[in-house]
Structure 1
């Protein structure tokens, strides 16, 4: 069985083992060092205490008793001490004064330097470890060089025992850590495995299924909840797309049927010029509707790349709105609607002229579609501090409150039958929204059923461009 080293489970397991091994090495090394320091410190204190005892023994010898020399006094002190503890005293010039019998295997060399302070050393002789202390002290009224030494074999035996125990138990601890790491990594990723298994079962036909959410209160629960929210959005999008596909098929089928029927009737027998003109007019209207639908679909398909395709140029938004309003005036008059616009001053912004024109056209087209005869439509463009406020208001049929949160969603239609009658694909407001957002702007809607709707666009304002710059830009664009 091939092990996938990229598996998160394996990587967690390996990280756990590396952490455990590193921790054991660091802890063992520190423990060994700390024990060595404590043993050395303990031996050092013992030797300092021996030095103090030697000095006190000589100093407390009765002053009147001058029959014993310094060497004889030290010999009295050496009675009963361990054979591995040696006392040596020298004159400052190196002349030996006294050396305790001690162990014959220990031959302590003459100190090679004058130690005004305590000098500690470590020797190895005949397989034994010896700690030494050299110091210039005052004994029996004159300065001498005092050298103390003692075996620290027990010190190293303790360290050796600790080291052997650690080397024995370290592999066992490592094996236990490996087993624990394997169990912990499996338990930690078990919810992920369940979610993966369940996710693989979810297909396009059962998007209503959801991933199991572990009640752990951790990141895995958040991940599962996030995936379920994503599945919900995908389910909604697929439902709308399926519904739209059905509506689109119906619309295209109806359009093609009308064109074929009209053409067939016109060609079934000789017709007058007026009849041919009427037939061609009907076919032309249906072609325009189909072309608009295909344009909307193409715009939606390119929506994700809109930021890359925007041609950022100074745009006279006030003039653009006037042009679009003039274009819709004839359509509004045919429906008996009153179309007015309020543009107070020349206003410039940075943006893509064609996309902005499309956005304004969509908003006005919706207003004329859903405003009944004798209704009114008002479009206003106002400068407010650092923003341009574009408002399109109508006295149309309005939008239900429950539909407002979804009004800018792709393929969404408030009233299917009404939208089909009006030739709506459910894409217009979605396109308008991504055009607005691509220009770092915002769009909102306020509507009351039966009274009308108001769409408001807030656009960042660009400082007025000088007349000379305006002429230059107009010439370069034109």
Structure 2
């Protein structure tokens, strides 16, 4: 398989390698620095203890024994220490009082300054690295400058061995981390490749197929489950869309067939004026039905951009409710239905007047359609705290319990036969729902078969729509 830097597997492998190398380099640098610090600290402590032994050895010499001078006492002490460790003593003027026997290369001299406190230094002499301690002390009753030196090459060799081991192991670790990164990334992404290959095989005609779900409990399992849920919703949506398209095609074909047949039959021979009027009435009725169907389709298609199109302004919801009632009252009277309204005054909200009117039209028109003759339809608007509550109730045929959860779906129809009889497109409640949601409101439905249905819309009250003076003036104007 050709590798690409855009591949998630390659990037994961490289990131793993970079992380491993950075971690190992950091560990190496820290180990080298820490070991060097520990060795230096231990060496300094050793030299301080050596200084204390020298001072104690000289100062504990019996006071009444004056047979040996300071240099002789120090010489006896030098016999007991290694040749590579040196002791040098100077007076306060810098004159050498004593210098331990041995190679001159080991002797570094006084560094300069008073060194009232311990002065440490590292001096390079040829192949030797010498660590020194210089301090002003009291020896044999006089203040002198004491300088102690010792070769630390063995310590440096230890550090070099540690450094070289890291330098040798780093390339091998790099190779191992790159190989391990690619192996681990391949194993980690293997379920993803399987999901991808299965997803490629899914087409619009095969939405029943589902992705394999790895039982790993990680993000890949969650991804596969989420995609399967999406496929299930997509399958249901496509099924509803297919059924909807079939229904709409049938409705349009039926309407066009009626208009075409009626017109062709009327044109076969001369007819009376009353007959032509009847024909035109039939065609006009079919045109209105088709126009309403197309309006519903356009409204459903624009549902996703409704938020951008709302003309926000104060709305007298009571006035709109009464207006819609009066508009649909003749339709209810034709069916010998009782249309009642119970609305409170000053029920203001903010929103788009035309959209809210359409929502009311849909709910009230549905109530009239699905309520038998002699039935009762009631519309009410009430205030509840800072909310407005609209209720549209009817004593109609009701909605089956298994359909309540889906009646607001865009392409769902409860009963195909009754929708065909009344010319409904099945989009009304879907349109009403997105109008409600676009106004940050809620809609609920309660229904019992052959008892009736109640739709409840809860909107935010807009109490500052007009001041009290403006409201009074508006009432007078009306």
**Band of TM-score, shorter chain:** over 0.9
TM-score, normalised to structure 2, is 0.96
Confirm or deny: 8 A CA contact 2:311 2:351 kept in the other structure: yes
| 1:291 aligned residue | 291
Q: How far, CA to CA, are the matches of 1:111 and 1:126 in structure 2?
A: 18
Q: CA deviation at 1:4?
A: 2.7
TM-score, normalised to structure 1, is 0.96
Confirm or deny: 8 A CA contact 1:47 1:133 kept in the other structure: yes
The 5 A counterparts of 1:142-181 are: 142-181=142-181
The 5 A counterparts of 1:282-321 are: 282-321=282-321
Counterpart check, 1:405 vs 2:405: yes
What is the SS of the residue equivalent to 2:366? helix
| 1:369 aligned residue | 369
Confirm or deny: 8 A CA contact 1:119 1:134 kept in the other structure: yes
The 5 A counterparts of 1:239-318 are: 239-318=239-318
What is the SS of the residue equivalent to 1:114? coil
Confirm or deny: 8 A CA contact 2:367 2:396 kept in the other structure: yes
Tell me the number of residue pairs that the alignment of Structure 1 and Structure 2 aligns: 474
What is the SS of the residue equivalent to 1:389? strand
Q: How far, CA to CA, are the matches of 1:471 and 1:6 in structure 2?
A: 69
> Runs (4+) of structure 1 moved beyond 3 Å?
467-474
CA offsets 1:287-321 (integer angstroms, 9 cap, x no match) = 10110000000001111000001111111111111
Q: CA deviation at 1:472?
A: 10
Q: How far, CA to CA, are the matches of 1:98 and 1:467 in structure 2?
A: 110
| 1:431 aligned residue | 431
Q: How far, CA to CA, are the matches of 2:135 and 2:152 in structure 1?
A: 20
| 1:450 aligned residue | 450
Confirm or deny: 8 A CA contact 2:339 2:378 kept in the other structure: yes
| 2:203 aligned residue | 203
Q: How far, CA to CA, are the matches of 2:468 and 2:85 in structure 1?
A: 106
| 1:91 aligned residue | 91
Q: How far, CA to CA, are the matches of 2:334 and 2:396 in structure 1?
A: 16
| 1:61 aligned residue | 61
Confirm or deny: 8 A CA contact 1:343 1:380 kept in the other structure: yes
Return closer, same or farther for 1:473/1:49 CA change in 2, 3 Å cut-off. Answer: farther
CA offsets 1:379-405 (integer angstroms, 9 cap, x no match) = 001111110100000000000111001
Q: How far, CA to CA, are the matches of 1:473 and 1:297 in structure 2?
A: 38
Structure 2: stretches of 5+ with no match in the other structure = none
Confirm or deny: 8 A CA contact 2:317 2:347 kept in the other structure: yes
Counterpart check, 1:384 vs 2:384: yes
Structure 1: stretches of 5+ with no match in the other structure = none
What is the SS of the residue equivalent to 1:215? coil
| 2:18 aligned residue | 18
Confirm or deny: 8 A CA contact 2:85 2:106 kept in the other structure: no
Q: How far, CA to CA, are the matches of 2:103 and 2:304 in structure 1?
A: 93
What is the SS of the residue equivalent to 2:106? coil
Q: CA deviation at 1:469?
A: 5.0
What is the SS of the residue equivalent to 1:81? coil
Confirm or deny: 8 A CA contact 1:88 1:148 kept in the other structure: yes
Q: CA deviation at 1:215?
A: 0.6
| 1:133 aligned residue | 133
CA offsets 1:9-29 (integer angstroms, 9 cap, x no match) = 222122111111111111000
Q: How far, CA to CA, are the matches of 1:197 and 1:134 in structure 2?
A: 76
Q: How far, CA to CA, are the matches of 1:59 and 1:420 in structure 2?
A: 121
Confirm or deny: 8 A CA contact 1:82 1:102 kept in the other structure: no
Confirm or deny: 8 A CA contact 2:394 2:452 kept in the other structure: yes
Q: CA deviation at 1:111?
A: 2.8
CA offsets 1:316-339 (integer angstroms, 9 cap, x no match) = 111111111001110001111111
Confirm or deny: 8 A CA contact 2:86 2:150 kept in the other structure: yes
CA offsets 1:186-215 (integer angstroms, 9 cap, x no match) = 112111111111111100111011111111
Return closer, same or farther for 1:225/1:267 CA change in 2, 3 Å cut-off. Answer: same
Q: How far, CA to CA, are the matches of 2:468 and 2:312 in structure 1?
A: 19
Q: How far, CA to CA, are the matches of 2:111 and 2:8 in structure 1?
A: 63
What is the SS of the residue equivalent to 1:322? helix
CA offsets 1:248-301 (integer angstroms, 9 cap, x no match) = 111111111111111122122222222111111111111101100000000011
Moved more, 318-327 or 11-20: 11-20
Moved more, 300-309 or 45-54: 45-54
CA offsets 1:68-101 (integer angstroms, 9 cap, x no match) = 0010000001114211100011111112111001
| 2:104 aligned residue | 104
Counterpart check, 1:466 vs 2:467: yes
Q: How far, CA to CA, are the matches of 2:272 and 2:72 in structure 1?
A: 154
What is the SS of the residue equivalent to 2:105? coil
| 1:28 aligned residue | 28
What is the SS of the residue equivalent to 1:105? helix
Cα-Cα RMSD:
1.6
